[in-house]
Amino acid sequence: MTAAESKVDAYARAILAIARAEDRVAPVEDDLFRFARALEGSESLRVALTDPQLPLERRLAVVDELTAGKALPLSAALLGMLIGAGRVNDLGETVDRFVALAAASREREVAEVRSAIELDEEQIARLAEALGRATGKAVEVKVIVDPSVLGGLVARIGDTVIDGSVRHRLDQMKAQL
Amino acid sequence: MRIRTLLLAGLLAVGMVMAMPTGAHASGGGPKEVFECVEKAIENNTEGKSVDYEAFENALEDCKKAKSLVTPALPEIIWGGIAFLIVLAVLMKFAFPALKKGLKAREDKIREDLESASRAREEAEAESAQYRAQIGDARSEANVIVEEARADAERIRREVVARAEAEAADTRERAQEDIRLAQERAVSDLRAQVADLSIGLAEKVVERNLDRDTQIALIESYINSVGNETR
């Protein structure tokens, strides 16, 4: 494990410890996971949060504004901790590590699923069961709404990717052409 | 050698004979006595009285008979001969051997000089022959070098021509390969563009036709297919 990976792991374990102490692991997972995916999809947000000319208070205000009413205050505070520590560039990786550690603590693996539309609870449960049968592991599904998949789903469990998206089929067609 | 010695002795004898009258004249005073006789005859016939020419002539005739200017007296001849023999003996005893030795040495020296000159000439001829042989060798070697140089030049010329031809062929092949690759690249780019256009068009068609029911149907299909892939 490199020094950067060690830091990511340390922050992820710290977040997990705080979330456990507050007994809010699952909602914090969801909040941070969504924020991390939103940060990945928005270059302007990443630039704003990493701008050294922007005072820290202003950057934290951006986070508060984005999470107000949509995430727990604890989640916003943890995000503020990461941004204040200058970990914005590693935020996605840190959150993924935190989610993985949390799932592992429940003896589960995280399946990162991308879909063009939101999935309801019943679909997520059936999807988790199906992915569990396919991989032979207990799986927790984290859904990311990503219109670029066009249709269908893409699931990534560790290094395994099960791609049933329309985008993937179009890419295959393009490769064949 | 002997002839030369005899010739030298003869010359010496002649010289002695020629010297003898002078010796007699100097020692015996032959001419001087004749002159004195003549002067005496002149005085006797001209002193205080008329000249008696007949007596004067007789006195002169007597002076002539008394002493000869050319023929020495017998004792002088004898003593001269004895002196000659003594001188000859001394010469033969002491001078001739030295003379002979000197002549011999000179002869030897001349012979040695001649032999040395002969040897030098032979050596010079040998050296000349050696030089000629060396010149011949040098010419042969020069010819060989020239032939080798000519062969090398021809070989180099052939190599240069072959290399140039090979490079030209290589350049031609590379150009053809470049053309082929460019064609392939152009075709590939064209295919990619066609694929992009086709896929872009397909995306638009798919997006237009992907309503919520279709999306749900795709998701259900995915869940069912993944669920059937039991590990």
In A8-37, which positions are buried (b, 16+ CB within 10 angstroms) versus exposed (e)? bbebbeebbebbeeeebbeebbbbbbbbbb
pLDDT (0 to 100) of residue B50: 67
Does A126 touch chain B if contact means CB atoms closer than 8 Å?
A: yes
B208-to-A114, B181, B202 alpha-carbon distances in Å:
20, 39, 10
Query: What dihedral angle (degrees, nearest 10) is formed by the CA atoms of B165, B167, B171, B173?
Result: 70
- Mean pLDDT for chain A? 89
Does A162 touch chain B if contact means CB atoms closer than 8 Å?
A: yes
Which residues of A fall within a CB distance of 8 Å from B210?
116, 150-151, 166
Interface contact B218-A173, CB threshold 8 A: no
Cβ–Cβ < 8 Å for A144, A37 = yes
pLDDT 10s digits, B129-145: 999 999 999 999 999 99
How far apart are the CA of A85 and the nearest CA of chain B, in angstroms? 40
Low-confidence ranges of chain A (pLDDT < 50): none
Confidence grade of residue B27 (pLDDT, cut at 50, 70, 90): very low
pLDDT 10s digits, B149-166: 999 999 999 999 999 999
Interface contact A150-B224, CB threshold 8 A: no
Residues 160-199 of B with CB under 8 A from A: 191, 194-196, 198-199
Interface contact A130-B226, CB threshold 8 A: yes
In A62-84, which positions are buried (b, 16+ CB within 10 angstroms) versus exposed (e)? ebeebbeeebbebbbbbbbebbe
Question: Which residue out of B216, B219, B220 would a mutagenesis test of the A interface target, given it has the greatest number of A Cβ atoms within 10 Å?
Answer: B219
Question: Which residue out of A114, A119, A133, A154 would a mutagenesis test of the B interface target, given it has the greatest number of B Cβ atoms within 10 Å?
Answer: A133
Does B219 touch chain A if contact means CB atoms closer than 8 Å?
A: yes
Hey, what CATH class is A1-106 in?
Answer: mainly alpha
- Mean pLDDT for chain B? 82
Does A151 touch chain B if contact means CB atoms closer than 8 Å?
A: yes
Structural domain boundaries in chain A: 1-106, 108-177
**Chain B residue nearest residue A135, CA to CA:** B231
> d(Cα A42, Cα A69) in Å, to the nearest integer?
20
| A129, A136, A152: residue with CB nearest B219 | A152
| A116, A134, A170: residue with CB nearest B226 | A134
**Chain A residue nearest residue B211, CA to CA:** A151
The tokens for B144 are 């060989």
> d(Cα A107, Cα A139) in Å, to the nearest integer?
9
| A116, A126, A164: residue with CB nearest B225 | A164
pLDDT 10s digits, B95-128: 888 888 888 999 999 999 999 999 999 999 999 9
Does B27 touch chain A if contact means CB atoms closer than 8 Å?
A: no
DSSP state of A138: -
Q: Is the dihedral of CA B2, B6, B11, B15 positive or negative?
A: positive
pLDDT (0 to 100) of residue A52: 83
To the nearest whole percent, how much of chain A has pLDDT over 70? 100
> d(Cα A103, Cα A112) in Å, to the nearest integer?
12
Cβ contacts below 8 Å, chain A against chain B, sum to 76
* Average pLDDT of span B182-207: 86
| A133, A166, A177: residue with CB nearest B218 | A166
Residues 37-66 of A with CB under 8 A from B: none
Helix H, strand E, coil C: the string for chain B is: CHHHHHHHHHHHHHHHHHHHHHHHHHHHCHHHHHHHHHHHHHHHHHCCCCCCHHHHHHHHHHHHHHCCCCCCCHHHHHHHHHHHHHHHHHHHHHHHHHHHHHHHHHHHHHHHHHHHHHHHHHHHHHHHHHHHHHHHHHHHHHHHHHHHHHHHHHHHHHHHHHHHHHHHHHHHHHHHHHHHHHHHHHHHHHHHHHHHHHHHHHHHHHHHHCCHHHHHHHHHHHHHHHHHCCC
State phi, psi for B217 to the nearest 5 degrees.
Answer: -65, -40
| A115, A133, A174: residue with CB nearest B231 | A133
Which residues of B fall within a CB distance of 8 Å from A130?
223-224, 226-227
Confidence grade of residue B68 (pLDDT, cut at 50, 70, 90): low
**Burial grade of B72 (CB within 10 A; 0-12, 13-18, 19 or more):** buried
Interface contact A166-B214, CB threshold 8 A: no
**Chain A residue nearest residue B215, CA to CA:** A151
> d(Cα A45, Cα A34) in Å, to the nearest integer?
14
Q: Position B134: which residue type?
A: Q
pLDDT 10s digits, B46-67: 766 566 777 777 877 777 665 5
* Average pLDDT of span B207-213: 83
